[in-house]
């Protein structure tokens, strides 16, 4: 029957994204935190009704000001902990399922690229945090009955949770590509430390030069920090999907780990050179280096493919190999004679 509504996702979403969404929506790592965060949100709202809306001034009211989340009351602390930290950390098991069971080899034999695989996992994981966050926004509106709640402040908190969940989701996916709990925890700590140091340097410089408020440069620097470390986390996961690493190549994952170590130094130099205003230059530059650090080697465009080593009718394989070895350059008329 035509015209019947189906529950299938559109084809434009891509096969990898559809697969991850279907799996993640059924997992307990989404269902349990989704139900728990609503129960905790109700308790936080009740607490704020009893104690009043206590909001402290913690510097510029802008995106990625994590101190603002802590100072904005119990409700935003609950939202930040669940949507910004706990749900993204569920990505620490995503890449292990593909690598340990060898599924990545089958995926890469298809038309899927490595970026498609890691991007599908990232979008599915981050979208679950976004879905949970937007389901909690009605509780934020209820807080307006208490008084003292500012729209600009709540918008800054919402953007901060979205950015935090994006960074930690990418970092968790990148760390999950390593085998062993100790390796995953170590890479995750390095990723979080690098992101905190680079982001703190950039936003600290913006706060020092921008006065009391969060201006345009603050938000541009914050967006650049989210973009940089989201690309680095996904680049780390992508580098671990390489099927072959040639003897003359540096292991791609080592290069991305090295970038995580040196990024705060590069961002610090660009921030100082621009008098604290444009640390985003270093962040965007390091993001591009992370994207192109692992490029799959390809044959030159003009390179001719080798002749297929297929035996001709009536010629034994041994004779064919000897004739092929003795006539490496037979083309043109020789091939026409063979065809005849």
In the structure encoding, which two tokens stand for residue 208, read together? Answer: 């020092």
pLDDT in tens, 196-238: 999 989 988 888 876 555 678 888 899 999 999 999 999 888 8
Residue whose entry in the numeric block shows the structure tokens 């979403």? 13
Residue owning tokens 């001719």: 304
pLDDT reported for residue 8: 61
Helices (H), 55-180: 66-70, 74-79, 94-100, 103-108, 114-142, 151-176
Portion of the chain with pLDDT greater than 90, in percent: 17
Q: What is the model's pTM?
A: 0.78
9 phi and psi, to 5 degrees?
-75, 155
With bands split at pLDDT 50, 70 and 90, how would you rate the model's confidence at 148? Answer: low
220 Cβ neighbours under 8 A, 6+ residues apart: 280
Rounded CA gap, 20 and 331, in Å?
A: 50
Domain ranges of the chain: 12-292
Locate the DSSP E strands across 181-270: none
Residue 34, CA atoms < 13 Å, CB-side half-sphere: 16
Contact 128/89 with Cβ under 8 angstroms?
A: no
């Amino acid at each position: 029957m035509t015209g019947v509504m189906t529950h299938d996702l559109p084809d434009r979403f891509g096969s990898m994204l559809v697969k991850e969404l279907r799996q993640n929506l059924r997992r307990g790592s989404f269902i349990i935190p989704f139900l728990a965060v609503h129960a905790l949100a109700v308790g936080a709202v009740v607490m704020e009704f009893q104690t009043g809306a206590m909001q402290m001034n913690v510097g510029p009211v802008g995106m990625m000001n994590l101190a603002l989340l802590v100072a904005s009351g119990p409700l935003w602390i609950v939202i930040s902990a669940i949507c910004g930290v706990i749900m993204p950390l569920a990505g620490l098991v995503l890449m292990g399922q593909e690598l340990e069971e060898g599924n990545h080899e089958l995926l890469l034999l298809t038309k899927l690229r490595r970026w498609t695989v890691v991007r599908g996992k990232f979008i599915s994981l981050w979208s679950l945090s976004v879905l949970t966050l937007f389901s909690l926004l009605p509780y934020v509106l209820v807080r307006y009955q208490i008084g003292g709640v500012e729209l600009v402040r709540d918008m800054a908190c919402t953007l901060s949770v979205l950015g935090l969940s994006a960074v930690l989701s990418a970092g968790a996916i990148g760390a999950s590509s390593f085998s062993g709990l100790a390796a995953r925890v170590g890479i995750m700590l390095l990723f979080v430390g690098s992101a905190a140091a680079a982001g703190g340097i950039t936003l600290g410089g913006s706060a020092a030069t921008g006065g009391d408020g969060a201006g345009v440069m603050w938000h541009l620097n914050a967006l650049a920090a989210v973009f940089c470390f989201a690309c680095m986390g996904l680049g780390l996961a992508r580098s671990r999907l390489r099927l072959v690493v040639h003897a003359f190549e540096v292991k791609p994952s080592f290069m991305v780990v090295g970038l995580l170590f040196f990024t705060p130094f590069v961002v610090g130099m660009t921030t100082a050179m621009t008098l604290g205003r444009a640390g985003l230059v270093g962040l965007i530059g390091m993001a591009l280096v992370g994207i192109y650090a692992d490029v799959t080697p390809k044959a030159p465009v003009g390179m001719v493919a080798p002749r297929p080593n297929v035996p001709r009718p009536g010629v034994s394989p041994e004779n064919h190999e000897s004739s092929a070895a003795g006539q490496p350059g037979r083309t043109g008329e020789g091939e026409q004679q063979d065809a005849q």
